[in-house]
Amino acid sequence: MTGRHLPPRRATTPPTADKPPIATPRRILAIKTYGLGNVVILMPVLERLRRAYPDAVIDMLTLEGNCDLVERTGLIDRAIPFQLGGLANALGSVLGILRTIRSRDYDLVIDFEQFIKLSSILAYLTGARERIGFNTDGQRRGWLYTTRVVYTDNQHMSGIFARLLQPLDLQSLELKRGDVAGRLELATRPEEDASVARFLEEAFGGETADSSTPLIAVHVGSGPNFYDVPLKRWPIESFAALADGLVERYGARIVFTGKGAEEQELVARTLSLMKKPAASACDRFSIGELIALLQRATLTVSNDTSVMHLSAVVDTPVVTFFGPTSPQQYGPLNPEQHLVFYDDLYCSPCITNYNLKVSYCSDPICIRGISVERVLQGIDRAYLGAH
C-alpha cells in the first residue's frame, strides 16, 4: 500500500479518476469507542467489510463494555478495549492501546467516530498509510486522515457509517435501513437463556416465559447523562403510569432493565411510583443475558439508547421516544415494525453530532409532552389489542 498525494488539510479527498485510491488491505482497524447503540448500528457495516475482505485481519477499538457484543458477532478478529474510570486509568489505557495498535501493523484504519478527536489522533498514531474518517464540519479533525469523508446528518446513522466504506470502491455498497438488522446475528449461550428463565420464574412465579401474558422489557435510562436536565428521557412518572396501565389492561409482566448506580436509582423511583407489581433486572444481566431477555419479550419500551437498538436487532418490537435526537438518524432499524413517538417540534433535534451532542435546553417539552394515554393507545393498536 502506498501513500497518496493529499489536498490541503481542510479539503476533502475526492476519488481519483483512473483507479480506486485504496488498495486491498491486509490488516484493518475499526474505531468506535462510545455508544453501545452506535456499535449495534455499526455492526452490519463491519459485516460488509468482512465480506469484502474475508482474508484480512479486522480488529476493533472500542470501550471495554462493548467488547462482548463485538466479539459475539464473529465479525472481528480482536476487540481492543478502551477503559475509562478516572483520568489515570484512562491515560494508562491510552498508552496500552498505543503500544497495541502500533504493533499490529495496520495498513487501513477506519474511524467511525463522528466528532471525538482522540479517535482521529489514535488513527494517525497507528502509522497506517491509509486512514479514513469523517471530516465533520466545525470539528477540525479531518486533516489527520488520508481520506476524508464528509459527515452528513441527512440519513440514518447506519447509512452515514456506510459512507466510510465508499472510498474502498466496494460493489453493492448501499446498506438499506431495512436490511441492517437482518444482517446481524446475536446468538445467546445456553447458560444465558437459563439464567433469564430462572429470573422470570423467580419474579413471576408460575407465569413462565411461555405464558400467554405479555412480557414487556422497560428501560427508563438513556445512558450517561451529561446535562442538568435529562433531555433524552421520558419522565419516570410516565413510565410508571404506562407500566401500571399495561398490567391493568393486559396482565403484562414488566421487567425493568438498567445498569449502574444512576439507572438503579431511576428504576427504584419508577417502581416506587407504581401501583402494580413489576420486576427489576437492573445490574442483574450480562449483555448476553440482556439479549436473551429481549428475545423473549413481547415488546420493549425504551428511551433512545442501546436497549432500543438491541431489541430491534433481535426482532422484538420497540416502543420508543424521541425529541432532542431525531429518529430519522437514530431510530430503530426496520422502522415499520416499531412504534416511534416524535413530535418534530421546530426546536428539535437539539442534540446532534455537529454540536458535539451539547444542548442548553432546560425544558425538553419535545419528549415530556408525549402522553401516557397516547402511548397506551398506540401499543393497543399496534401490538396488544388482541390480548
| Tens digit of each residue's pLDDT (9 = 90 or more) over 288-317 | 999 999 999 999 999 999 999 999 999 999
| 287 belongs to a structural domain | yes
Of 305, 308, 331, 323, residue with least CA distance to 359? 323
Q: How many CB atoms lie within 10 A of CB 225?
A: 15
- pLDDT band at residue 227 under the 50/70/90 scheme: low
Q: How many CB atoms lie within 10 A of CB 174?
A: 10
Cell numbers representing residue 126 in the block:
497507528
Structural domain count of the chain:
2
Domain boundary among 163, 183, 203: 183
Strand partners, 303: 321
| 8 belongs to a structural domain | no
**Strand residue runs (E) in 190-341:** 215-219, 253-257, 279-280, 299-303, 318-321, 339-341
Contact indicator for 322, 367 with CB cutoff of 8 Å: yes
Q: How far apart are CA 228 and CA 362, in angstroms?
A: 8
Q: How far apart are CA 241 and CA 166, in angstroms?
A: 47
Expressed in angstroms, the distance from the first to the final Cα of the chain is 61
Is residue 194 located within the same domain as residue 179?
Answer: no
**Predicted confidence (pLDDT) per residue in 76-127, tens digit:** 999 999 887 667 777 888 899 999 999 999 999 999 999 888 999 999 999 9
Domain CATH code at residue 179: 3.40.50.2000
Cell numbers representing residue 129 in the block:
498509510
| 20 belongs to a structural domain | no
Contact indicator for 293, 281 with CB cutoff of 8 Å: yes
Q: How far is CA 314 from the centre of its chain?
A: 14
Contact indicator for 112, 120 with CB cutoff of 8 Å: no
What value, to the nearest 5°, has the Cα angle with vertex 317 and ends 311 and 319?
A: 95
- pLDDT band at residue 341 under the 50/70/90 scheme: very high
- pLDDT band at residue 2 under the 50/70/90 scheme: very low
Is residue 249 located within the same domain as residue 167?
Answer: no
Is residue 234 located within the same domain as residue 176?
Answer: no
Domain that holds residue 74: 27-183
Q: At what angle do helices 372-379 and 236-250 cross, to 10 degrees?
A: 40
- Whether the predicted pLDDT of 285 surpasses 90: yes
How confident is the model at residue 131, as a pLDDT? 95
Is residue 173 located within the same domain as residue 206?
Answer: no
Is residue 156 located within the same domain as residue 201?
Answer: no
| 21 belongs to a structural domain | no
| 22 belongs to a structural domain | no
Is residue 223 located within the same domain as residue 372?
Answer: yes
Q: How many residues does the chain have?
A: 387
Is residue 129 located within the same domain as residue 227?
Answer: no
Peptide bond preceding 349 in cis form (omega within 30 of 0): yes
How confident is the model at residue 197, as a pLDDT? 96
Domain boundary among 132, 148, 183: 183
**pTM exceeding the 0.95 threshold for the entire prediction:** no
Is residue 200 located within the same domain as residue 266?
Answer: yes
Q: Which long-range contacts (CB under 8 A, 24 or more apart) does 94-98 make?
A: 94/118, 94/122, 97/61, 97/122, 98/122, 98/125
Half-sphere exposure of 79 (CA within 13 A, CB side): 22
Peptide bond preceding 81 in cis form (omega within 30 of 0): no
Is residue 93 located within the same domain as residue 196?
Answer: no
| 9 belongs to a structural domain | no
Domain boundary among 157, 183, 209: 183
Phi, psi of 369 (to 5 degrees): -75, -5
Is residue 144 located within the same domain as residue 233?
Answer: no
| 17 belongs to a structural domain | no
Q: How far apart are CA 378 and CA 321, in angstroms?
A: 12
Is residue 142 located within the same domain as residue 226?
Answer: no
How confident is the model at residue 21, as a pLDDT? 55
How confident is the model at residue 124, as a pLDDT? 94
DSSP string, 200-242: HHHHHTT--TT-SS-EEEEE---S---SSS-TT---HHHHHHH
Q: For a pLDDT cut of 70, what percent of the chain falls above it?
A: 88
Is residue 72 located within the same domain as residue 139?
Answer: yes
- Whether the predicted pLDDT of 1 surpasses 70: no
| 15 belongs to a structural domain | no
